[in-house]
Amino acid sequence: MQDDIAAALTQEVKEEVIENYLYERRLVEGQIDYVKELAEHAVQLQEKLYKRFARIYDFLHQRTFLNEFVRFLKVDVTPFIERYGKAPEYRKGVRFIKVHGFTDRGRFKKLLLESYRRLLVWNDQYKEAYEDLAQECKAVNDNLKKFENDHDLLTILNFLKDLDIEGITKKHFLGDNFTPEEMGSIETSLRFKPIRMEQFKLSPPLSLPKLNAIQRQLNALADSVYDQCGDRIKGLIK
């Protein structure tokens, strides 16, 4: 009788340990899912930012002018230049900019300035999303360490092997992440991998100068572009 009671209590304790473990595990998994959502949002913003750079690259057209523009930005590399090749592709999903002026030259200057202003808006949004993602990745990784330290994986594995798997499944202890068929590789399944920013393939955010800081240079650049590529510019601003 006492042996039966002791066995029942032992079983109850084991089930409680497993239940607590899996409850906390699901909390961590929820945090990881949230990080993935933030990453997806950052990827979308990066794509929008690329298109704003591509629009300006299309306006400048020649590599000499493009290099001059990048020099104004004071960045080490030309942003997204490895992707830029088919200029019209950026136009899908990018709003057409309407500008007014007495001359095509004046309209082109306004077009270049407004394009840069909009680029700054998307750059700020992307930078904020990137930094939020980086902070959340660090927080999740800290929680992963704490989770692993708080739970003895070897003990958890031994408990799982001793428990009735079908009974545990019926009690929804394992949720959707663990099935009886997966128990053979449970040790691998129970371990979390740290989240690394590199896995999302995001470019580090840029600190770009404000429009008023380079407005004079952009106007001069627009003049140079128009002088050499006036006919092409007229086609872009109509």
Q: Is the residue at 166 inside a domain?
A: yes
Domain count, the chain: 1
pTM for the model stands at 0.79
Q: Is the residue at 48 inside a domain?
A: yes
pLDDT at 87: 58
In the chain, DSSP finds a helix count (H) and a strand count (E) of 7, 0
pLDDT at 173: 46
The candidate with the shortest Cα–Cα distance to 94, out of 70, 72, 119, is 119
Is 60 exceeded by the pLDDT of residue 4? no
pLDDT at 163: 58
Q: Is the residue at 187 inside a domain?
A: yes
Is 90 exceeded by the pLDDT of residue 195? yes
DSSP string, 128-185: HHHHHHHHHHHHHHHHHHHHHHHS-HHHHHHHHHHS-HHHHHHTTSSTTT--GGGGGG
| Tokens matching residue 71 | 């020099």
Average pLDDT over residues 1-20: 54
The candidate with the shortest Cα–Cα distance to 204, out of 24, 32, 79, 102, is 79
- C-alpha span between 92 and 101 (Å, rounded): 26
Average pLDDT over residues 211-221: 95
pLDDT at 149: 78
Residues 13-53: pLDDT tens digits?
556 666 777 787 888 889 999 999 999 999 999 999 999 99
Q: Is the residue at 134 inside a domain?
A: yes
- C-alpha span between 169 and 51 (Å, rounded): 49
Q: Is the residue at 2 inside a domain?
A: no
Is 80 exceeded by the pLDDT of residue 116? yes
Q: Is the residue at 4 inside a domain?
A: no
pLDDT at 235: 79
| Tokens matching residue 67 | 């290099």
Q: Is the residue at 3 inside a domain?
A: no
Domain extent at residue 92: 13-237
Q: Is the residue at 5 inside a domain?
A: no
| Percent of the chain topping pLDDT 70 | 71
Between these two residues, 92 and 122, which has the higher pLDDT value? 122
